Structure 1
Amino acid sequence: MLPEAGERAGDPSSPRERRPDAGPGGTGIWRAAGEGPPAGGRTRALRGLGGFGVLAGVLVALIILPVACTAGVGARDAADWFQSEPEGLDTGGVPQRSRILAADGSTLATFYYENRVDVRLDQVAPVVRRAVLAIEDSRFYEHGALDSQGTLRALVSNLGSGEVTQGGSGITQQYVKNLLFTQAESEEEQLAAKEVSAARKIRELRYAVALERRLSKDEILARYLNIAYFGGGAYGIESAARHFFSKPASRLTLPEAALLAGVIRYPYAYDPVRRPAAARARRDVVLGRMAELGWITRAEADAALRRPLGLRVHNTPNGCVTSFAPFFCDYVQREILTNPVFGATRKERERLLKRGGLTIRTTLDRQTQRAAQRAVDRHVPRKNSARKAAAEALVEPGTGEIKGLVVGRRLGSDRERGKTWINFAADAGHGSSIGMQAGSTFKAFTLAAALEDDMPFGTRLMAPRGFVPTGFRDCRGRPVNSTTTLRNSADGEGGRTFSLVTGTHHSVNTFFLALEREVGLCETVKMAERLGMRRADGKPMSQFPSFTLGADQVSPLRLAAAYAAFGARGRYCEPIAIKQITDASGRRLRVPGARCRQAIDKGVADAVNHVLRGVLTKGTARGMGLGRPAAGKTGTVDDFSAAWFAGYTPDLAAAVWVGDPRGGYRYPMTNVCMDGRCYGPVFGATIPAPIWRDSMVGALAGRPATGFHRAPGRYFSKGSGEDRVDLPDVRGMPVREATARLRAAGFQVRVGGAVPSAEYPRGTVAEMTPGPGRAEPGTTVTLRPSEGGGDEPGEEPGSTPEPDPGNGGTPVTRPPLPPLVPPGPQRPRPGG
């Protein structure tokens, strides 16, 4: 059967033709939307609408008379049935595209089933409305749901042939047909929506009559303009204007409006990009029709006819591949598709994302994202010759907001070098990654558990060269021991005692195994869990002695969120990417929150911060400071299978992983060359820490620095925990020279009152407390200058000698020793 008169057949060979692109014809006079009918037209319009029900019923009955008579149904019964309200008439559910926005409101990505942006009628240029109605239905504002002239013309044809061969479809009917096709859920429903049959035609007519009762003409025209397909993947006049001319529909000119109006009938045949000659000829037909109706002057038409098409094609991306932040975008997409808060089934959630017209406002900070991407690409290029990869997650302490999420690849099939679909920065549920072993970054959780147990910084434990893990029990009280000897990652680290501070700074494996046994394996695991840590595959954390060495596979995002809790003084927040979602009507939808809680005491977090700050100044990441208060921890996985760095300020936390996606143990981070830069064994400080530093410096540029809080005094009860160094003997030296010598060696200096001394000349140092020997760096040394003379060298008559904490409380007054040369700073060997 041939297509109905006034309807577009479409081109089934076109991949763009998804809907029955119907377009009516018609003649008569039209008024611009909102202007009121022409003189005398208002009465005719009201009279036409008022008497339309009976007339329409009779006309429709006559149109389908051959079919009705065959079924034994009379024309009067058909007319009565036709005037009744149809069931299931739903004018909602038209697909609209969704947008993901960065924190500053800029667009990160769009998602759509049909690329459509609904607009009000007053947001469409009047010339566009005139052009569409001129070529589609010029009597739209004068007739009802049925154009009687067109219907009578079809009636004559149908009565002569005995079947439906023609139809006088107007704008309302075409809107109905597009609506029914758009709402079809299955292929079967879509075929039924566009089949050429009397049943389908009558259903459309009944819906059209009902809509004319419910809606004004302006509302129907607006809905038609928003639902019509214009080709090039553009649904609705707004998307069409942006696609073909890179401007909104409100700014379209006469020749542009005529071009789009002409396209509606056959979008593929009149495609301005593929068939510019046919499109121009069709545009000129529209201009001629507008002039014929008197809606533009002949001069305006002639001027428009001379204009070129003037296309400025803009293709709207669909999905995350071309996004500024593709892996963050992918994280947001997966959050919506997997979280039941957005729908009971995945199909419902996908429908919401691709058809719901959502505006998704996210937490992403463009400055942070840009800085992180540049840092990752600089140190681990996307197509590097070693095929290594990097990933980084950046989280705001105290809110859980993900400010940046970077993978050192482009989003796409890994069949092409430098691309991957796997989001290495996120858990499996948000990126298909099963995670990576975190190495020594997990030692921070053991440290936090020890500090929560009120261990002072000066607590010292023996760190043997080899540690056989015995004496461990899991949270169910079961022994979890091993006969495998665990060792340190750097030669010479071990065989002596370390404090909480120095063991952390040097990242000594055997020290932390001993510390984990001291505080309890279960307590260490629970500390990590309280700080949000879980395996990337969703399974519970392991409970084995190697837990403190980072044997579990986790994501950078989880680790960054845990370290962010330290920066927020113990306040942990679940990482979140979505701040707000509104649907097409502006209604706010429920979104998952950060569920912030005080995971550890503020004082414990302050103490952790105190220790981890030293990693950047005197530990395994020395030299990686930011020029503002910062703390962090390196991580090197067994056999150099991967390297990590996690660090933070009170304003931003980040975790960086560098490894080989093909398998770290098979392709370890040793003797690695990437685009001309070669490395021996890669530690956490070798590549991950510089990525972290560059990311943080760029992300925090222009933002005021925030300091950490001082650790509670109870943690200093056994001293600062720093390793003791040689304290030079400055007795007999001038006070100013002695002061400079001590400060250069890393000590604080206080000058006390002068004392009589027969041994040292007046004005030189007669006493120092503590005396020469070994002392912790930063210790305050009190100097007492000589007055000369005296009954007892170094002692004032009647006074009590000041105790020397570094020498058992005995005052030091012995003759001067040869001056010691203070040792230079020793860089600790990498160890985590």
Structure 2
Amino acid sequence: MTGSGRGRRRWLSATSTRTEKLHAVRGLASLGGLAGLLVALMLIPTACTAGVGARDAARWFQTPPDDLDGLGVPQRSTILAADGSKIATFFYQNRVNVDLDDIAPVVRKAVVAIEDSRFYEHGALDTEGTMRALATNLTSGGVEQGGSGITQQYVKNLLLVQAESDAERRAATEVTVARKIRELRYAVALEEKLSKDEILRRYLNIAYFGDGAYGIEAASRHYFSKHASELDLGEAALLAGVVRYPHAYNPVENPELARERRDVVLDRMTELGWADPAKAEQAKGRPLDLELEDVDNGCVSSGAPFFCDYVQREILTDKAFGETAKERERLLKRGGLTIRTTLDPKAQRAAQRAVENFVPPKNDAHLAAAEAMVEPGTGHIKAMAVGREMGDGTERGKTWINFAADASHGSSIGMQAGSTFKPFTLAAALDEGMPFGTRLMAPRVYTPTGFRNCDGERVGDPGARLRNSADGEGGREFSLVTGTRNSVNTFFLKLEKEVGLCDTVEMAEELGMKQANGKPLEQYPSFTLGFNPVSPLRLAAAYAAFGARGEYCEPVAITKVVDASGEKLEIPKANCREAIDEGVADAVSHILKGVLTDGTAAGMGIGRPAAGKTGTVDDFSAAWFAGYTPDLASAVWVGDPRGGYDHPMTNVCIEGRCYGAVYGATLPAPIWQQSMRGALQGTEQTPFHRPPGHFFSKGSGLDRVAIPDVRGMDLGEALDRLREAGFKVSFGDRVPSEEYPRGRIAEMSPGPGSAEPGSTITLRVSEGSDREDEPDGGDGGDEGDEPGGIPTFPADPTLPPEPNGPR
């Protein structure tokens, strides 16, 4: 009895105390008084321990927090292709903010019904709910029941998603009176500042709906593959029910519990008169009918993973998007950015198919390939393909390294470019006024001496003996045209000596070239042979300048960035400028066109005007092809990522196709050909411009061929023979001749010997030996053949390919 009596006295004492406190609460006339009650009653010991008086606490509570306006909600960012299709998404939380009008009214009713049915009637604090919580908490001596309304729940979620440190996260979730007071303080300020509809909208956008879906729009898309504006009664009730305990009521993991909870929501809506009882019963009888739609986070599953990674690194490294790396990452994963890019899905598909067709990701030779496509005149990156899947490089056929880009945008240290660097020497020579017919003797072996770098220092190895890459080259003269078509190493070393090493280097730099690690190009005599390691992207951008008639644009991937508030952000610019004269660029294109018709890549044309250059690195450690039209430029690399010199591309087999050695024309050129045809399919052809006349001052630059001796032939036969040999024909005055009958060819200039195809041969027709005895009209042919009235007949010069291997 004694123990029972003490227990009863304690119960009576506690009841008396609670009764007194409840009377005090009912006597409060304002929210400020209720705040004082929360401070004084919910945790009197805490307040007293801290030495905080109830009056000071109430005054602090009623003061609006300074950082209220600075709070935001993380939203997912989306990367879009040029046509608006999605490339990838990035998020800290998968969330898509929407306006209240974009949320079905039935959803709003369902959430309010189950979470805070008096939401539109009370202020920041629901007194009835709070009294229930106070009673429970005072009985237990701690905080066991919240009684929070939608406004307070919104504040709790807001503080949690904004927490970036462990301490902030603990403060946002710990079960303490201090946290409840802080939430209520924010709630009071919000209720004074925002309408109820706006608070509800924010709550629906921030709430967690389980299974990785944050906010009603993301949840609707995830569970039902539809927008929140399209949800019906049953679907709305299901999602409204998840909010209280997202993990327990997750309809994917716990469908039965989720269904039971849905039905509770439907009953509550019916009880409040917010749902038709018959329709609610019908909805309760339906299965969940989930139609899941997952949203990938990041680039790995993107259709253009390495381009996506390039864009991601652009955001994370460029100070235009934040002063610090942390700020930039926060912007990308929380800022709700819409990032519009330059990617052309058609070009991307064409490049990826071509790369994987010739060098599949899991090929037995362990080779990899990469291609970058750039639009001349804009610098827009149209495609970026790597012949590996994105992933852990220890797995066969996967890599994290973007071989198409520089180290700053993909971790690649670059690859030696080989003979694709020769056009920079060619451009420097043309820029100095050298005509196409400029000829240099190309020895079989060349020792580089007398070279100076841009600092005036002597560079080179007097003991080096540089050779050509195929038998039969060297030992004769080549012009700018034939030396380029045949990619003669010793010719370009001599040309570089004539032009100057520094001028050649500066030309490459004007066209945007630098090492893939970001350092300046190294300067040695073999510069023109392409020993500098570069990326396909930079090489494509340089060749794009030739296609754009000398206008160089830095490669760019982003065209527009808009944040969650609709504000446009600054983006990296292409900074287009005239790098070389239009005529010089046209002259380069004129010569490089021949590489695809009569040079090292003969037969690799794409059915429209195009130009390009092969590249094969020493010991077959890598192979390249870079080419362009006036509309699109592309560079392709093929090599072994394990190290080209340790694993040269000789005697390799890929998918049943075997190669004794891989040249630029063996794999890179066919990849380029297939990808360019696909990327440009359906687009109008754009021709190149004819180079200025002074470049033809020493002829076309083509190799000389024998001039047929047409003396004594009739006019028709002579024309046929000369045109077949690739020459043009003009006519001079008739001449008397004792040797050749009237109407036959009596003289030709130049005479039998050799000349460049396309040269003009002037013919003179015989008048016979006795002009007075000859009748007028003779057998000299048609009237149009008469001297002075005979036109120049254009030739169709076609030359057989040089007997040299591809380079």
What is the TM-score when the length of structure 1 is the normalising length? Answer: 0.88
Is residue 584 of structure 2 the alignment partner of residue 604 of structure 1? Answer: yes
Q: Counterparts of 1:230-245 in structure 2 under 5 Å?
A: 230-245=209-224
Is residue 639 of structure 2 the alignment partner of residue 664 of structure 1? Answer: no
In the alignment, is the contact (CA less than 8 A) between 1:642 and 1:660 conserved in 2?
yes
Distance verdict in 2 for CA 1:266–1:431, change over 3 Å: same
Q: Counterparts of 1:586-605 in structure 2 under 5 Å?
A: 586-605=566-585
Distance verdict in 2 for CA 1:472–1:824, change over 3 Å: closer
Distance 1:823 1:177 in 2: 79
Match of 1:256 in 2: 235
Shift of 1:156: 2.3
Match of 2:790 in 1: none
Shift of 1:746: 1.8
Q: Taking every aligned residue pair, what percent have the same amino acid on both sides? A: 72
Distance verdict in 2 for CA 1:790–1:446, change over 3 Å: farther
In the alignment, is the contact (CA less than 8 A) between 1:61 and 1:79 conserved in 2?
no
Distance 1:346 1:77 in 2: 41
Is residue 259 of structure 2 the alignment partner of residue 284 of structure 1? Answer: no
Match of 2:524 in 1: 544
Distance verdict in 2 for CA 1:650–1:828, change over 3 Å: farther
Q: Match for 1:732 among 709, 712, 719?
A: 712
In the alignment, is the contact (CA less than 8 A) between 1:488 and 1:831 conserved in 2?
no
What SS does the corresponding residue of 2:747 show, helix, strand or coil?
strand
What SS does the corresponding residue of 1:498 show, helix, strand or coil?
strand
Is residue 128 of structure 2 the alignment partner of residue 153 of structure 1? Answer: no
What SS does the corresponding residue of 1:671 show, helix, strand or coil?
strand
Question: Higher mean Cα deviation, 52-61 or 347-356?
Answer: 52-61
Paired residues, number: 758
Match of 1:829 in 2: 804
Shift of 1:752: 5.0
Distance 1:325 1:751 in 2: 61
Match of 1:516 in 2: 496
Distance 1:197 1:125 in 2: 36
Distance 1:80 1:156 in 2: 25
Question: Higher mean Cα deviation, 83-92 or 677-686?
Answer: 83-92
Is residue 720 of structure 2 the alignment partner of residue 720 of structure 1? Answer: no
In the alignment, is the contact (CA less than 8 A) between 1:368 and 1:695 conserved in 2?
yes
> What runs of 5+ residues in structure 2 fail to find an aligned partner?
1-27, 777-796
Write the deviation string for residues 331-376 of structure 1: whole angstroms up to 9, x where unpaired. 0111111112211211111111101100111111111111111111
Distance verdict in 2 for CA 1:152–1:823, change over 3 Å: closer
Shift of 1:751: 4.8
Match of 1:319 in 2: 298
> What runs of 5+ residues in structure 1 fail to find an aligned partner?
1-48, 797-821
Distance verdict in 2 for CA 1:497–1:287, change over 3 Å: same
Write the deviation string for residues 648-671 of structure 1: whole angstroms up to 9, x where unpaired. 111111111111111111111111
Shift of 1:787: 4.2
Q: Counterparts of 1:17-416 in structure 2 under 5 Å?
A: 52-58=31-37, 61-65=40-44, 67-68=46-47, 75-90=54-69, 92-416=71-395
Is residue 506 of structure 2 the alignment partner of residue 531 of structure 1? Answer: no
Distance 1:475 1:228 in 2: 63
Q: Counterparts of 1:564-575 in structure 2 under 5 Å?
A: 564-575=544-555
Q: Match for 1:675 among 640, 648, 655?
A: 655
Write the deviation string for residues 436-474 of structure 1: whole angstroms up to 9, x where unpaired. 000001110111111111111111111111001111111
Write the deviation string for residues 604-629 of structure 1: whole angstroms up to 9, x where unpaired. 11111111111111111111112221
Q: Which amino acid aligns with 1:500?
A: L
Distance 1:626 1:50 in 2: 85
Shift of 1:583: 0.4
What is the TM-score when the length of structure 2 is the normalising length? Answer: 0.91
Shift of 1:59: 5.5
Shift of 1:753: 5.2
In the alignment, is the contact (CA less than 8 A) between 2:347 and 2:675 conserved in 1?
yes
What SS does the corresponding residue of 1:269 show, helix, strand or coil?
coil
Is residue 479 of structure 2 the alignment partner of residue 479 of structure 1? Answer: no
Q: Which amino acid aligns with 2:490?
A: T
Match of 2:606 in 1: 626
Distance 1:828 1:339 in 2: 50
Distance 1:774 1:562 in 2: 38
What SS does the corresponding residue of 1:589 show, helix, strand or coil?
coil
Distance verdict in 2 for CA 1:505–1:82, change over 3 Å: same
Q: Which amino acid aligns with 2:239?
A: L
Distance 1:332 1:70 in 2: 54
What SS does the corresponding residue of 1:655 show, helix, strand or coil?
strand
Q: Which amino acid aligns with 2:708?
A: P
Shift of 1:117: 0.6
Shift of 1:673: 0.6
Write the deviation string for residues 531-588 of structure 1: whole angstroms up to 9, x where unpaired. 1000001122111111000000000001011111111111111111111111000101
What SS does the corresponding residue of 1:150 show, helix, strand or coil?
helix
Shift of 1:409: 0.8
Is residue 469 of structure 2 the alignment partner of residue 489 of structure 1? Answer: yes
Is residue 678 of structure 2 the alignment partner of residue 698 of structure 1? Answer: yes
Distance verdict in 2 for CA 1:823–1:609, change over 3 Å: closer
Q: Which amino acid aligns with 1:714?
A: H
Shift of 1:733: 2.7
Distance verdict in 2 for CA 1:786–1:72, change over 3 Å: closer
Shift of 1:682: 1.4
What SS does the corresponding residue of 1:680 show, helix, strand or coil?
strand
